[in-house]
Structure 1
Amino acid sequence: MILTIWLARCYIYNGKPRLAWELYLKLEHSNESFTLLQLIANDCYKRGHFFYAARGFDILERMDPNPEFWEGKQGACAGAFQQIVAGHEPRDTLRDILSLLRNTNHPQGDQMIKIMRSWARTNNIPV
């Protein structure tokens, strides 16, 4: 598992978070998947790969309702949205971000959804 963790970290730090995510998907039913997912979510957040960080924190939050996972997911969704607005992330990623925010029972999530949907309407992006 140590090799897998370092491989995921190398992918993330070399700008290939999708490959780290695919590594997690291959191992998601193993005993060590929680540890790998924490690493992916946190390292992706640190490196600015917010979409994959949000996906990771979403699964972590569903596995364990620790408030830190919601806070990570909230920050990662905001970061991903900022990247979409700036044109650094594809606009269709917004649908996925909205879906992640709908999977939670936090009023802040509802507020974020309203803001993102309003921006999408203004910019003629179907969501």
Structure 2
Amino acid sequence: MLTGRGEVHFGWVLEGRAIQDVWILPARDAGPSPSLGKWTFYGTTLRVYDPSADAWHIFWSDPRNQYYSRQLGRAEGDTIVQVGADGTGSSVRWSFSRITENSFRWLGERSHHGADWHLEVEFLARRVTTS
């Protein structure tokens, strides 16, 4: 199990038509920390709502690792589920749950053959105050 601390910055962009988040792992102020392997990244997600599909078009870009994914996201009860594919042809599923005003849980799963999903990563995020 790898454990580390990262940064996530969220905001409305494109005149309020999309949400962008920037993920930085490990956090810039984390100091020396053990390697997070492939989970060391600087990436950004753009989420654009499509009212005709009642879904979000999601574009993930991580230029550091040359990893890109396109997904379609919808609410399933209290969970937001994003399903799509990455550049390797694998199916990916990202699920956001336990969503509160100050925290959320994100699971990243992968399926190589479209049958079984395998958990790759769990992020537990919480809002921190900045000075």
TM range (shorter): under 0.3
TM-score normalized by the length of structure 1: 0.25
TM-score normalized by the length of structure 2: 0.25
RCO higher in 1 or 2 (8 Å CA, sep ≥ 6)? Answer: 1
